Amino acid sequence: MKRSIALGLGLAMAFLLTAPAYAAPVQVSAPSAILMEKTTGKVLYQQDAEVQYEPASVTKVMTLLLVMEAIDSGSLGWDDMVTASTHAISMGGSQIWLKENEQMSVRDMVKAVTVVSANDCAVALAEHIAGSEPAFVERMNQRARELGMEHTTFVNCTGLPAAGHLTCAYDIARMSRELVLAHPAIREYTTIWMDTLRDGAFQLSNTNRLIFYYEGATGLKTGFTDTALYCLSATAERDGMELIAVVMHAPTSNDRFESCKTLLNYGFANYAITPVYPEQAIPPVEVILGAQDTVQPVTQRECSILLEKNKAGAVTTQMELAPQVEAPVEPGQKLGELKVLVDGEQVDAIDLVAPQEVPRLSIGGIFKRFLDTLFLQEG
């Protein structure tokens, strides 16, 4: 009997020592949380992620998204000067104490919003882009609808308490993903730990302390009010994979940081972006009546997939190629497909295409080829 108990304990210990890390449940103190991978948008973990809460200053992720879109479209420049209005300087809360009619560059205002969550700068930027804060908020809500943020209504561009100003962790992750995926230049500002404005006269220290102590931290935005409690959208990148962790309504500031740290640790421990290549050389495709006899297909794009680390050996590929194609062949013309499978299930497909043009033979060229073939046969 004792031997059986000892054997059972030994097997149990062996299982615990060899069990993959992802088997351990994620435990966060925040009531609402989500973990998303940036490139694919895949949700790796969620906990009541569609429950609505006030987002506080995490609202400014959408504000920054619209600012970055305006910059990328050319309607706004980094060196454009923005004038602070009476309304902008009246915000209160986190601010850099703009004076009425004070001018500051878009670059410095974006820095103030990302690093110290400056409400006065957020409103000044909104007014500069849309003419008024309400007009800018209309754009925020329109953009939210375009991103499929079904549980979100913005009332202002700052996140200051306002009736009906609500969102959820899932929606925050979606707008955070859009910001960091489509506008990587924002990282220049979201990764600042300490800096200054006004020629060194005004000190800035990032409200997101993960930037200081979490390996690979890239942003993104903190938030707090008495009713929203502590919120955070945190991004971090390691080994080419960037993750987005969002928590809402955490009871303390430390809880929000520790909750996001736990989520990010879970993601980096158990998932990886894995590059995929064909398992065999891609054979050439015969070209009928072409100036070249064959064309060598190439993959249309690189392929990387998000994968649980314990499934790295379960990736296979299947190649499907046209046996032949008739000239002319255009650059980029599809010649086949490379299917990517994990445990036998297809997760992606990459077109195999012609890298260059293959012209069709002229009548004279066809005749010459016929003669060449005839002479070779006779020889």
| Residue positions annotated with a catalytic role | 57, 60, 117
DSSP strands (E only) in the chain: 32-37, 43-47, 81-83, 103-105, 194-197, 202-205, 217-225, 229-238, 241-250, 271-276, 285-288, 294-295, 298-299, 303-308, 315-321, 324-326, 334-342, 345-353
Q: Would you say 303 and 341 are in contact if contact means Cβ atoms under 8 Å apart?
A: no
Residue 31 per-residue DSSP state = S
Q: How would you classify residue 284: left for phi > 0, otherwise alpha for psi between -120 and 50, otherwise beta?
A: beta
Return all residues near 192 (Cβ < 8 A) that are at least 6 apart.
111, 114, 115, 204, 206, 211
Place of tokens 């001018």: 103
Q: How far apart are CA 261 and CA 30, in angstroms?
A: 12
Q: What are 221's strand-pairing partners?
A: 233
Q: How far apart are CA 135 and CA 142, in angstroms?
A: 11
Exposed, middle or buried, 183 (CB in 10 Å: 0-12/13-18/19+)? Answer: middle
Number of other CB atoms surrounding residue 236 within 10 Å: 25
Q: How far apart are CA 99 and CA 84, in angstroms?
A: 7
The 10 Å CB-count burial string (b at 16+, else e) for 330-358 is eeebebbbbebbbeeeebeebbbbbeebb
Which amino acid is present at 65? L
